[in-house]
Amino acid sequence: MLTTLSKTARGLAFAAAAVVAGASGAAFAQAKVAVITPYMAQPGTQAYVEAFQAVAKEKGWDVNVVDTAGDVAAVISRIEDVVNQGVDAIVINVDPTQVAAGLQTAKDANIPVVGMDAGSDPLLATNVTSDGVAMAETTAGFVVDRIGGEGNVVMFVFDAFPPVQVRGAKADEIFAANAGITVLDRITPDVSDGGIADSRAKMDAVLAANPEPGSIKAVWAAWDQPALGALQAIEAAGRQGEGIVITGIDANPQAREEVAKGGNFEATVAQDFAGIGAAAAEAVAGLLAGTAPADAVTFVPTKLVTKENAAQ
Amino acid sequence: MTIATLLRRYGTLIGFALILGFFWFNLPDTFMTARNWLNITQQLSMLMVVAAGMTIVMVMGDFDLSVGSAASLSGIVAGVLFAAGYPIWMTVGVALLGGLVGGAINGVLVSFIGILPFVATLAMLTILSGAAFVLSGGKTISGASIPADFSNFARGGIPLGDIGGVAVMLPNLTIVALVVVFAVWVLLEQTTFGRRLYAIGGNIEAAYLSGVAVRRLKLIAFALTGLSAAAAGLMYASRVASANPTQGSGLMLNAIAAVFLGMTMSEQGVPRILATVIGVLILGVLDNGLTQLSVDSYIRQVLVGAIILLAVAASSFSKRLRR
């Protein structure tokens, strides 16, 4: 009896959803959305998911957050389960190529999947992430402004990892466009120990080779660790008074602390994790209303962190 | 048969039936469907293979803590060889052989050197896991280095026709798991080798005195457990089309839990392969059903632990009643 009732109710709900979605474009009240990640223990992922849930609550969705605690094959299994359950949309936060088997199952069932900083994949409706190129543009632009477009710049890059490689390429472009700027060295640090120690050693060498005050105007790093290493080298050499401008990217806690002190490490860029979660929710809302996201990648703006706002 | 005996023999089975009934009632449209059950068997295939291998050593009263890292390592070995351009058959062969050798080392440590299985296999867990990190440099091997034929294996299967307009197939991973379970069943239940393992588990002294080659049998049993772990590692790598140095680590505790759950179903409290299969199904059905009911994934873990305790407690309590 109960089963029959709930079946009827579900049938009605389905029909209503179809009508509402077709007519007004508004998402149906109890849309079911599954958020599946193996990385819930990561602070970034927690921020995405909380922001996603805040939007979902407003929209009245029934959100099921599944954490597989590091198990990627279990992500595929849970995607299969929620597809079978008949959810309206799925959000993942894991490398899509590793869960392609599950994404294909969702596609076969016509259930859209949105990536939350997951990586681009044809099986995703869209991937919501930060724009690495824009972040590099921001910090390289900051460097150019601060040194007035004149002087020697040391770059720390890492071309073996594509998301970081594009940052370096953008910075190359910006420095090349300023005739007064010379790239003194383009260093790839050894990152096996985290990157700070080797970056410091490499910077020690650069400082030793360029002893004149003012011979190094700035250090541009593609992420925070080399910037922290360069800062240590400059302080150890007693050259912090020369006004060498250092920038990083990512705004990790250690970098924020240094930027807040107002020393040589002047700026870094923060990804907006909450913004990524909220934008993923908006992408889902669009899909539920029947509009596919415009692009395979949805960029969320990032924020420059300087002395003024580093403590936030 | 008294109620106590009934509970002891069939308590876990009744519990399993209740779990199935609960999900069937609450998920009337999606749980008891061919499609869902094929999904479940595919999701469980890797755990099934590891648990089947684990049953072999647990029959002798031993266990193997290194199966999870053996599975991770075999995935990494395959990934590294794929990246170096070796063909699939050779890569799979080397990875399986590696598992067999790793298991044999466990066997030597336990039976010839005489180290307790807990200590020997714990040390091997650390060594194999470390080796997986060394070989991979701690990175995930994925993308173009993994041949499409290898990852397609986990996505393919034997077509079973259409159900409700959707093509349904018997997944390859399920077939592998069935083959392994059948092989272990033949080995343990139909051969003298298996009967001798049970004899060792029953009373190792008596087995030795009656002429059972205890050391050699233990060595072979551990080697087979290692082989099954390596097979599961390859299945995992195929499913996620990548290899990561920690990806098998979740398998070990679940495999032991499945065998324990199964042991509550046998009269003498010994591991039986078919009972292990039920144990694996209980764990997998809980994951599948609770996900579909949108139950919090952390609550699920608590529930799984509670069910294991409940099953083992019910079994030992009813045994005490008999005395």
Q: How does pLDDT run across A154-200, given as a tens digit for each residue?
A: 999 988 777 788 899 999 999 999 999 999 999 998 877 778 899 99
* pTM score of the predicted model: 0.82
Contact A73 B25 (CB under 8 A): no
Which residue from A minimizes the CA distance to B35?
A84
Query: Could A101 and B298 be called an inter-chain contact, meaning their C-beta atoms sit closer than 8 Å?
Result: no
Are the C-beta atoms of A197 and A203 separated by less than 8 Å?
no
Sequence-ordered alpha helix ranges (H) in A86-195: 100-108, 132-146, 162-176
Confidence grade of residue A4 (pLDDT, cut at 50, 70, 90): very low
Closest CA to B111 of B235, B270, B276, B222: B222
Burial status of residue A137 (CB atoms within 10 A of its CB: 0-12, 13-18, 19 or more):
middle
**Min Cα–Cα distance to chain B from A12, Å:** 15
Q: For residues B97 and A127, what is the distance between their CA atoms, to the nearest angstrom? A: 40
Q: Which residues pair with A220 in a beta bridge?
A: A155, A247
Minimal-distance CA residue of chain A relative to B25: A3
Mean pLDDT of B48-77: 96
User: Which residues are registered as beta bridge partners of B163?
Assistant: B166
Q: Is the pLDDT of residue A304 over 60?
A: yes
Whether B142 and chain A come into contact, CB under 8 Å, resolves to yes
Alpha carbon of B283: minimum distance to chain A alpha carbons (Å): 13
Which phi-psi region, left, alpha or beta, contains residue A25 (left: φ > 0; alpha: ψ -120 to 50)?
left
Give the right CATH number for A31-124+273-299 from 3.40.50.150, 3.40.50.720, 3.40.50.300, 3.40.50.2300: 3.40.50.2300
Straight-line distance from the first to the last Cα atom of chain B, in angstroms, rounded to the nearest whole number: 15
Cβ pair A84:B35 closer than 8 A: yes
CA distance A107 to A113: 8
Nearest to A69 by CA among B287, B71, B151: B287
- Distance from the Cα of A39 to chain B's closest Cα (Å) equals 13
ipTM of the complex: 0.87
Best mutation target, B25, B146, B292, B300, to test chain A (most A CBs within 10 A): B292
| Mutation target vs B (from A53, A71, A88; most B CBs, 10 A cutoff) | A71
pLDDT confidence of residue A137:
94
Q: Name the phi and psi angles at B186, rounded to 5.
A: -60, -45
B10-315 carries CATH number 1.10.3470: yes
3-class SS shares of chain A: helix, strand, coil, % to 5: 50, 20, 35
Cβ-based contacts of B244 with chain A (< 8 Å): 72
| Mean pLDDT, rounded, for B47-60 | 97
User: Is the Cβ pair A95, B29 closer than 8 Å?
Assistant: no
Q: Domain boundaries in chain A?
A: 31-124+273-299, 132-270
Q: Which one, of A34, A255, A253, A29, lies nearest residue B290 by Cα?
A: A34
pLDDT value, residue A219: 97
Task: Find the closest chain A residue to B240 by CA distance.
Answer: A98
pLDDT in tens, B235-264: 999 999 999 898 998 899 999 999 999 998
Q: Is A67 close to B298, i.e. CB distance below 8 A?
A: yes
* Both structure tokens of A25: 């474009």
Q: Which chain A residues are closer than 8 Å to B173 by Cβ? A: none
Q: Give residue limits of the domains in chain B.
A: 10-315
CA B19 to CA A125: how far, in whole Å?
36
Identify the helix (H) or strand (E) that includes residue A30.
none
Closest-CA distance, B264 to chain A, in angstroms, reads 27
CATH class of A132-270: alpha beta
| Bridge partner list, B243 | B141
- Do the strands B157-163 and B166-171 form a parallel or antiparallel pair, or are they unpaired? antiparallel
The CA distance from B277 to B287, in Å, is 16
Do strands A89-92 and A62-67 pair parallel, antiparallel, or not at all (unpaired)? unpaired
Looking at every residue in chain B, the average pLDDT score rounds to 91
Is A167 in CB contact (< 8 Å) with chain B? no
Q: Which residues touch A32 (CB under 8 Å, ≥6 apart)? A: A61, A62, A64, A85, A86, A87, A88, B294
Write out chain A residues lying below 8 Å of B292, CB-based: 81-82, 84-85
Exposure letters B51-90 (e unless 16+ CB within 10 A, then b) = bbbbbbbbbbebbbbbbbbbbbbbbbbbbbbbeeebeeee
Could you list the beta-strand ranges (E) of chain B: 141-142, 157-163, 166-171, 242-243
Partners of B151 on chain A (C-beta within 8 Å) are 100-101
Pick the closest to residue A33 from A74, A77, A79 (CA basis): A79
- Calculate mean pLDDT across residues B66-71: 96
- The answer to whether the CB atoms of A97 and B244 lie below 8 A apart is no
Q: Which of A217, A214, A249, A219 lies closest to A232, judged by CA?
A: A219
- The partner residue sitting opposite A80, judged by closest CB among B43, B240, B249, is B43
> Does the CB of B5 have a partner CB in chain A at under 8 Å?
no
Q: Which of B240, B290, B300 to mutate to test the interface with A (most CBs of A within 10 A)?
A: B240
Are A31-124+273-299 and A132-270 in the same CATH fold?
yes
d(CA B197, CA B132) in angstroms, rounded, equals 31
Confidence of residue B164 (pLDDT cuts 50, 70, 90): low
Of the pLDDT bands very low, low, confident and very high (cuts 50, 70, 90), residue A59 is: very high
Distance CA A241, CA B190 (A): 82
- For B290-313, the DSSP string reads HHHTT--HHHHHHHHHHHHHHHHH
> Per-residue pLDDT averaged across B170-195, rounded?
96
A85 — contact with chain B (CB < 8 Å)?
yes
Instruction: Kindly report the nearest CA distance between residue B319 and chain A, in angstroms.
Output: 36
Average pLDDT over residues B183-198: 96
B295, with CB counted inside 10 A (0-12, 13-18, 19+), is middle
Q: Quickly list DSSP for A123-152.
A: TSSEEEEE-HHHHHHHHHHHHHHHTTT-EE
Nearest-by-Cβ selection for B143 from A66, A67, A97: A97
Determine the pLDDT at residue A1: 37
Tell me if B103 sits within 8 A of B222, measured CB to CB. Answer: yes
Distance set, CA B323 to CA A299, B5, B11, B12 (Å): 70, 12, 18, 21
Q: What mean pLDDT is predicted for residues B194-221?
A: 94
pLDDT in tens, A22-40: 333 344 458 999 999 988 8
Q: What is the pLDDT of residue B112?
A: 93
Distance CA B16, CA B278 (A): 8
Tokens of A89: 């949309």
Q: Which of chain B's residues have a Cβ under 8 Å away from the Cβ of A81?
A: 39, 287-288, 291-292
For A283-297, write each residue's pLDDT tens digit: 999 999 988 888 889
Q: State the Cα–Cα distance between residues B246 and B71, nearest whole angstrom.
A: 9
Backbone torsion region of residue A70, taken as left when φ is above 0, otherwise alpha when ψ lies between -120 and 50, otherwise beta: left
A68 pLDDT above the threshold of 60:
yes
Cβ contact (<8 Å) for B39 and A84? yes
